[in-house]
Amino acid sequence: METQTQHNPQLEKVKDMVEDIRIAMMTTTDEQGNLVSRPMACMQMDADGTLWFFTKKSSPKVGQVEQHDNKVNLSFADAGDSDFVSISGTAQELDDRAKIDELWSDMAKPWFPKGKDDPELTLLKVHTDMAEYWDSNDSRMVRFFEMARSIVTGSTYKEGENVKVTN
């Protein structure tokens, strides 16, 4: 996954976390109003905080995005490091062959066996409206001792950094 230095410096931490995690659960709203999520590999986070994904034109998510004001949520989680990112954004399906060429890698071939010229291949572009992250930089052992400390002392567990960023 490619990431670029963010124009909004507050998104730099979000970029670093997304780059490490890479797979998001993308949530959209279906025709019955249900929230539905599916895993998506992020191909790029550009300098404007826009995240780029490959998808199929015939995928239900493309229609769901268009029917519901283009609003999506992206959730990234690395439970092992206790790092979590939630991004609320505006999505758009975009058939941009130059951008597909730029982002294409053989890692996408299992989903698009015809390659980057597959007529079903399109992009989902998600502009970050707001992001929130939780970052517990400490090791598991430090987190364990912090939990034990909070139990013994009756105080609140100190989870680490929790920040909201608007773009």
Q: What is the pLDDT along the chain (167 residues), one digit of tens a residue?
A: 777 787 887 889 999 999 989 999 999 999 999 999 999 999 999 999 999 999 999 999 999 998 878 999 999 999 888 889 999 999 999 999 999 999 999 889 999 999 999 999 999 999 999 999 998 756 555 555 555 655 777 777 566 667 788 88
The gap from C-alpha 28 to its chain's centroid, in whole angstroms, comes to: 13
Q: Are 17 and 83 in contact (CB under 8 A)?
A: yes
Helix H segments across the chain? 12-21, 60-67, 97-103, 140-153
What pLDDT is stored for residue 78 in this prediction? 92
DSSP characters over 65-100: HHHTTTEEEEEEEEGGGTEEEEEEEEEEEE--HHHH
The gap from C-alpha 84 to its chain's centroid, in whole angstroms, comes to: 10
Residues 6+ apart with CB under 8 A from 139: none
* Correct CATH for 2-166 of 2.30.110.10, 2.40.30.10, 2.40.50.140, 2.40.10.10: 2.30.110.10
Distance, CA of 115 to CA of 111 (rounded, Å): 9
- For residue 46, the SS3 value is coil
What pLDDT is stored for residue 141 in this prediction? 53
β-partners of residue 167 are none
